[in-house]
Structure 1
């Protein structure tokens, strides 16, 4: 009898867990938000992940519940745990991925490096923060933001007035210093419920308009000390927050050679897509192993370099399929991964991975292949 994993959320992350699950003999079931989502291949139920009875019915006969996203409400998560259902990552860990203010406070308790920050609930508090941090700051909504949404760089409290005015009593926004960074990095860790964990190489991520466009693995010119510090940060967070499954820690490498924690994701993450083809054990297989408390796979790279390039937007649906054959013919060494989504400007509809011994050549292959799908 095969192990059964229930994935809440029908997006591309759930879709990309299907293939390694088949290879491992694991049955995947998906609770999709609506029909014909990216993970429709394994969708066993369509329903609202915010409704307890919907999720409870879905979770009834699986060995573990895990997630395509971090948005399942805490009361639903805790009810599942009270029912005796294995939930990984659990509600205590996910609380810090769901609320950026809670995350910042907990990371401070752990003594981890992060930008200077404050909870601001009115214009006066935000103005005080701006005055103390050079007149500019990053303002974030604590919940729900992703891919640049819910994030603004402001030089005046009036630029966040809409968000401030919408706050309920007791709520606040997150204000952070505008970090002078030289590049963005990401550190992934996989951790089992029983405790063992494994660490992936730290990678460089390139963002465009708040969305991850490229990932280079491992991060070029990363000193042994930087790699060690990034791994220690990821390990400390995984253990300190009780994360189970895949954890991605987005980092700033500052101009004075510090690492500061930007964001957390407690699931497979865009910064780890390179590992599908570039690592001995890709992040999607590793996540399944971890949440089922199975022995973890080797995260080591298969070749010197891997480059992932996202396909953003893309041409109209009727011409998209004709470009698949063209890119496969032109770049036979590149691996193409599509999400089954209708293209629209800025939307992630797939990605390409290239691996090899020379970084410039690998990057050229990945970028050229992704360019076939430009609007």
Structure 2
């Protein structure tokens, strides 16, 4: 508890954009998020007042960081489970716990456990990929069991020759895909849950480039099914905090679980302006066991477009902001304080309105100005 404010102290392991935006939500709740960052140049370390420099896989660093925190949470899934269990045994409150987080850390364990609980998943194997491919038909999807993100660690394999050597992988059938959806929920230690409207996520080269809220044309019964599925996953895995369930909607109208993320997630960045309670505030409410916030939309249509790093050179980011705000004054910009690299997520823009296609056009234009500079 912070003696100056009388409010609990939340620590977040990881200093990236998720911690940065969680810190912004914490300010409105009277808090200053404590951040464990690898570098003082990390996005959250640039803005938060209470920053500790240390590694997420160093138990002594995390132990020291946790002193004085009422609860410790995470902005990524890479904290070792044994470290979390050891500190929990010492009395540190870490949420989500290691027993839940393992299923966001390892795709083989996630697929095995979800299938065992009866949740719908693509056909998959952790065994003989040649036999599996012959059975379901080539090509297949190959994923590294751990460490993949933003399209990294995911491959289309036309034969076993395409499988990366020396790493643990799983194989999945190539699903007859209509589109990708995301159902984001939050759960408190007492078991209260809140569900956001189901969204469509648009991918390019394995990276999410656009999120449409709510998912256009989604059958109401299927939307409710997706929300209930995400709530059931959160409950049965014992997740505390935000859980994003990435889903495949198949061409024959089924939902299949693709990925899990037990933290604020890119598919819900739109909630900062587009929902009555952002996912970042909701995550804080959840880990502090506060009642959940209202998840309703603030506009009929909300579109979030990710801003990816473009080619080096050209006009400065400050110049690009000038042009963006002149061209799209209604666009809300979030830059993450990252060094620009081609293809790297350096921010996002959100546009709200009454017409989805108009919002998509405006959001895409705003993101393009930030990525490429002003277009005459």
TM-score for the superposition, normalised by structure 1: 0.95
Q: CA deviation at 1:315?
A: 5.9
Q: Equivalences for 1:340-355 in 2 at 5 Å? A: 340-355=337-352
Asked if residue 143 in structure 1 is aligned to residue 146 in structure 2, the reply is: yes
Deviations 1:118-174 (A, max 9, x none): 112xxxx111000001122111111111111111110111111x42xx25xxxx421
1:204-251 deviations in whole A, cap 9, x for unaligned? Answer: 000111110000000000111111110111011000111110000000
- Select the residue among 245, 248, 272 that pairs with 1:249: 245
- Give 1:196's aligned residue: 192
Matched, 1:330 2:322: no
Q: For 2:218, which of 219, 222, 225 is the aligned residue?
A: 222
| Other-structure match for 1:270 | 266
RMSD: 1.2
User: Take 2:118 and 2:200, find their aligned partners in 1: how far apart are those partners?
Assistant: 24
| Paired residue secondary structure (1:201) | coil
Mapped to 2, the partners of 1:224 and 1:159 lie a distance apart of 40
Q: Which runs of 4+ in 1 moved over 3 A?
A: 314-318
CA contact (8 A) 2:245 2:260 kept: yes
Query: How far off is 1:2 after superposition?
Result: 2.0
* Residue matched to 2:22: 17
What does residue 73 of structure 1 align with?
A: 80
Matches within 5 A, 1:310-325: 310-314=306-310, 316=312, 319-325=316-322
- Distance in 2 (CA, whole Å) between partners of 1:210 and 1:261 is 17
1:71-107 CA distance string (max 9 Å, x none)? 0001110111111111111110001001111101111
Deviates more, 1:315-324 or 1:28-37: 315-324
Shift of 1:329: 2.1
Whether 2:290 is the aligned partner of 1:294: answer yes
Runs of at least 5 residues in structure 1 that lack an aligned partner in the other structure? none
Partner of 2:159: 156
Aligned counterparts, 1:234-245, within 5 A: 234-245=230-241
Of 299, 302, 305, the residue aligned with 1:306 is 302
From 22, 40, 51, the equivalent of 1:35 is 40
Runs of 5+ unmatched residues, structure 2: 1-5
Q: How many residues align?
A: 364
What is the distance in 2 between the residues matched to 1:259 and 1:137? 19
Q: Summarize the alignment of residues 56-135 of structure 1 with structure 2, pairs less than 5 Å apart.
A: 56-120=63-127, 125-135=128-138
Cα distance in structure 2, aligned partners of 1:279 and 1:325? 27
Q: Give the Cα separation in 2 of the matches to 1:303 and 1:10.
A: 31
- Higher mean C-alpha displacement, 150-159 vs 318-327: 318-327
Q: State how far apart, in whole Å, the 2-side matches of 1:216 and 1:19 are.
A: 23
- Does the 8 Å contact 2:311/2:342 carry over to 1? no
Deviations 1:252-308 (Å, cap 9, x if unpaired)? 100101111100000000000111100000101111111111111001101101000
Contact kept in structure 2, 1:314 and 1:320, CA below 8 Å: no
Indicate whether 1:360 and 2:367 are aligned. no
Q: Any idea what SS the aligned residue of 2:264 has? A: coil
> Cα–Cα, structure 1 residues 234 and 206, in superposed 2: closer, same or farther, change >3 Å?
same
3-state SS of 2:371 partner: coil
